[in-house]
Amino acid sequence: MTTPTIYIVSGGQGTSGERIVRATLAQFQGAEVPLQVLPNVRDPAAIEDLVSRAAASGGLIVHTLVMTDLRNLLTERARDSNVIAIDLQGPLLLQLTRLLEREPIGEPGLYQQLRAPYFRRIEAMEFAVDHDDGRRIDELHLAEIVLTGVSRVGKTPLSMYISTQGWRVANVPLMREVKPPDQLFEIDSRRVVGLSIQPGQLVAFRQFRQQRLGLSTKSTYSSAEDLYEEVEHARKIFRRGGFWTLDITDRPIEETAEDIIAHITKSLNHNS
């Protein structure tokens, strides 16, 4: 027997209603219920069509409409068509109206608008994770800031920290024995930051990592001579791409992040 569809209706994106329905369905393990989210419903004609579909399929309507006229219309049409319509927003709006002694604005999607900076930060943090250490290099053009440099120069922690400010950050590692990706030179060079460091500090960082991983310290990975050449190789790539370079030696991550954001913002605004 086919389970009827649950129609989740909203004047906004329908995110809140969908989360509530899915959270509730989690209490019915093993149940497979088709869900259909209908966002941006702000037209009476859309209400009429929705109720007709639900009536024909025996479906259930769950809605978070905040516009009083549409909410009342849906309630009325659903009742006339013997369709169950669960109002997730109306009762709470009514009680808050009485409690606060003021009328609600009735603007769909207002929560999403108010929380936009938060959602942007979450998106940026996910982007930084997905584009860490040269991953998804074909999507490098989607990054607002691209950090590049040798291993252990601090690209990953900087990417993660800057992403908490709402910037989409990717980072690309540079190695002497590996040709840098073409995409690094195809994107807007104003968005690329070359991270440099004094070889002496880089030696200490890499030796510490080797000790933590239980690796032998007798390798080119932490050799002072090899690291000097590696840093110089990275600087040549920075010059080739015309990338702004920042020396992060002995600098706290917060200060470095502030300088990068300030530079990118000024550079893009100046040349826009």
CATH number of 6-114: 3.40.50
Q: What is the pLDDT of residue 29?
A: 85
In the chain, domain spans: 6-114, 116-271
Question: Would you state the structure tokens that stand for residue 255, as one six-digit string?
Answer: 């200060």
Q: Which residue has the higher pLDDT, 110 or 175?
A: 175
- Dump the DSSP string for 83-112: --EEESSHHHHHHHHHHHTS-----TTHHH
According to DSSP, residue 173 is labeled: E
- Is-same-fold flag (6-114; 116-271)? yes
Q: What is the pLDDT of residue 201?
A: 78
- In what side-by-side order are the strands of the sheet with 60-63? 35-38, 6-9, 60-63, 85-87
End-to-end CA distance of the chain: give it in Å, rounded: 60
Q: Quickly state the pLDDT bin for 271 (edges 50, 70, 90).
A: low
pLDDT digits (tens, 9 = 90+) for 4-18: 999 999 988 888 899
Report how far residue 16's alpha carbon sits from residue 147's, in angstroms, rounded to the nearest whole number. Answer: 36
pLDDT digits (tens, 9 = 90+) for 112-170: 666 678 888 999 999 999 999 999 999 999 999 999 999 888 899 999 999 999 999 99
Assigned CATH class of 116-271:
alpha beta
Q: What is the pLDDT of residue 224?
A: 60
The residues that bridge with 36 in the sheet, in sequence order, are 7
pLDDT digits (tens, 9 = 90+) for 175-211: 988 999 999 999 999 999 999 988 777 777 777 666 6
pLDDT digits (tens, 9 = 90+) for 92-105: 888 888 888 888 87
